[in-house]
């Protein structure tokens, strides 16, 4: 570093410390009291990084914690099956007399009610022939079927969610006799029941078909499990109740009783138009 002639009045001459020896233009921090030397910028940057990392970590931890909290929905459900009174589409109690006069094996509209949870729809069916005569090969229908109630043991209810990949009604629908040129050889499934059965539950998503006259057992895959069946009960005045469910869990539920809130003490039938697709796996 070069020197220059400083006149007597020059402040540098009066200074008690030697002139600073770093190049002109370079900034240095100098302690005003105890001289602690130059600040170590590397240490300072590391400390800054640690502080920022701490903040990010704390914020990230909070976010992760919050995300985990909301990624795990609370388990909603009930501990036992409710006794739920079924209500007709017009709001009146659903009785055996009303069902046997208004619904039969040839009813083409779907009648859906939810049970036991608010996201578990079910078909409501009466499989007895419309003419009131016992079912036969020439008079399609069924009576005294598994789980059936009413005068002929022909009133049943099954989950309206397919056991294959979970297509719900109306993609899965009840097909009354004459809907498609299709019958299934079900064998004798009960007194006065035709072995060549032209009525069934069919899922238009991939073709699974179920036999409502035999506990909604599989007629065709790809589903391999039957539809869960709602247990029906009739009180002395003829009013119909849903009181339980048998078979596998409703598709999409680890347990039929878990996954939503209870329907409560009553559940009303709703009318839906079916989705019909006369295409069946070979």
Residue 157 or 201 with smaller CB distance to ligand FES: 201
Residue 20 or 224 with smaller CB distance to ligand FES: 224
Applying CB under 6 A, the span of 16-24, 63-71, 160-168, 240-248 interacting with ligand FES comes to: 160-168
Residue 103 or 210 with smaller CB distance to ligand FES: 210
CB of 204 to ligand FES, least distance (A): 8
Instruction: Give the x/- contact pattern for ligand FES in 205-244, rule: CB under 6 A.
Output: xxxx-------------xx---------------------
Q: Measured on CA atoms in the order 269, 271, 273, 276, is the torsion positive or negative? A: positive
Using an 8 Å Cβ cutoff, are 155 and 122 in contact?
no
Applying CB under 6 A, the span of 88-96, 100-108, 115-123, 161-169 interacting with ligand FES comes to: 161-169
CB of 209 to ligand FES, least distance (A): 9
Residue 81 or 280 with smaller CB distance to ligand FES: 280
Residue 152 or 164 with smaller CB distance to ligand FES: 164
Applying CB under 6 A, the span of 34-42, 59-67, 199-207, 268-276 interacting with ligand FES comes to: 199-207
- In 160-273, the DSSP E strands lie at 172-175, 184-185, 196-197, 200-203, 209-211, 217-220, 229-234, 240-246, 266-268, 270-272
Instruction: Give the x/- contact pattern for ligand FES in 112-151, rule: CB under 6 A.
Output: ----------------------------------------
- For 158, the enclosing helix (H) or strand (E) is strand 155-159
Q: How far apart are CA 61 and CA 67, in angstroms?
A: 10
Using CB under 6 A as the binding rule, whether residue 165 contacts ligand FES is answered as yes
Residue 203 or 232 with smaller CB distance to ligand FES: 203
CA angle 222, 227, 232 (to 5 degrees): 170
Applying CB under 6 A, the span of 60-68, 76-84, 204-212, 260-268 interacting with ligand FES comes to: 204-212
Using an 8 Å Cβ cutoff, are 226 and 248 in contact?
yes
Q: Site for ligand FES (CB under 6 A): which residue of 159, 164, 175, 213?
A: 164
**Residue with token string 């130059």:** 38
Q: How far apart are CA 153 and CA 155, in angstroms?
A: 6
Q: CB within 8 A of 120, min separation 6: which ones?
A: 114, 159, 161, 250, 253, 256, 259, 260
Q: What phi and psi, each to the nearest 5 degrees, are found at residue 111?
A: -120, 115
Q: CB within 8 A of 245, min separation 6: which ones?
A: 81, 115, 116, 159, 228, 229, 230, 231, 256
CB of 250 to ligand FES, least distance (A): 13
Site size toward ligand FES (CB under 6 A) is: 12
Strand 84-87 versus strand 200-203 pairing type: unpaired
Q: Which spans of this chain sit near ligand FES (rule: CB under 6 A)?
A: 162, 164-165, 167, 172, 203, 205-208, 222-223
């Amino acid at each position: 570093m070069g020197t220059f002639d400083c006149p007597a009045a020059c402040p540098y001459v009066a200074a008690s410390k030697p002139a600073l020896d770093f190049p002109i233009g370079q900034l240095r921090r100098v302690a005003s009291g105890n001289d602690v030397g130059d600040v170590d910028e590397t240490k300072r940057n590391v400390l800054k990084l640690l502080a920022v990392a701490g903040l990010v970590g704390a914020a990230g931890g909070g976010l992760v914690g919050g995300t985990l909290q909301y990624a795990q929905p609370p388990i909603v459900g009930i501990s036992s099956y409710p006794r739920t009174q079924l209500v007709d589409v017009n709001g009146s109690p659903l009785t055996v007399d009303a069902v046997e006069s208004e619904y039969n094996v040839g009813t083409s509209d779907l009648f859906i009610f939810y049970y036991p949870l608010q996201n578990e729809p079910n078909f409501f069916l009466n499989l007895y022939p419309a003419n009131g005569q016992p079912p036969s090969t020439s008079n399609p229908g069924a009576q005294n079927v598994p789980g059936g109630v009413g005068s002929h043991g022909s009133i049943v209810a099954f989950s309206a969610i397919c056991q294959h990949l979970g297509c719900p009604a109306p993609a899965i629908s009840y097909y009354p006799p004459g809907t498609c040129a299709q019958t299934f050889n079900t064998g004798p499934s009960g007194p006065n029941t035709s072995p060549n059965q032209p009525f069934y539950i069919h899922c238009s998503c991939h073709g699974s078909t179920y036999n409502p006259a035999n506990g909604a057992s599989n007629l065709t895959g790809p589903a391999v499990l039957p539809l869960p069946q709602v247990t029906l009960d009739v009180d002395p005045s003829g009013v119909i109740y849903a009181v339980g469910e048998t078979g596998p869990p409703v598709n999409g539920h680890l347990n039929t009783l878990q996954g939503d809130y209870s329907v409560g003490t009553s559940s009303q039938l709703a009318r839906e138009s079916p989705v019909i697709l006369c295409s069946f796996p070979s």
